[in-house]
Amino acid sequence: MESMLRLTAALILSAAALTSACGSNSNPTLGPTPVSVTETFPGTLTVNGGVTHPFAVQRTGTVTVALTSVTGDGTTVGLGLGTWNGQVCSFAASGLVNDNAVQGNVITGTAAATGNFCARIYDVGKLTGPVDYQIDVTHF
């Protein structure tokens, strides 16, 4: 019995030594670096209108919504980043809105989980006619 205990103890100590040796000398493999995706959403915004652009985030991380172009110098619109439930773009959870967005403005948020999100552009009561725009959304 005593020899069996010594053999068992020796095996446990050997396994522990091998495990610690392996763990201390190797670098973990993390896999490929995530690549960001940029989606471009062009469109036309009408007076008192709004347009929602849903998109899916496949990895957690930073999400940016950029108003890359809007016709008319100094045109001010609303721009938001929210969650998409299949019917409504909700800003309640994110709070990421800019009611005074002009060309070049960017909203940055973080996707804490994968899922459905949305970018929304809307008239804040300052448009006098339709405007063409482009929104670029970058995410993982």
Alpha-carbon span 126 to 76, nearest angstrom: 7
Strands (E), the chain: 37-45, 50-57, 61-70, 77-84, 89-90, 96-101, 106-111, 115-122, 131-139
Measuring CA to CA, how many Å separate 21 from each of 11, 15, 26, 60?
15, 10, 9, 33
CATH of the domain at 83: 2.60.120.380
Reading phi first (left if > 0) and then psi (alpha if -120 to 50, else beta), residue 8 is in alpha
Total structural domains within the chain: 1
Of residues 118 and 92, more confidence is placed in 118
Q: Is residue 128 a part of any domain in this protein?
A: yes
pLDDT of 128 higher than 70 = yes
Domain that holds residue 61: 37-139
Q: Is residue 22 a part of any domain in this protein?
A: no
pLDDT tens sequence across 35-73: 899 999 999 999 999 999 999 999 999 999 999 999 988
pLDDT of 22 higher than 80 = no
Q: Is residue 133 a part of any domain in this protein?
A: yes
pTM of the model: 0.76
Alpha carbon 76 to chain centroid distance?
25
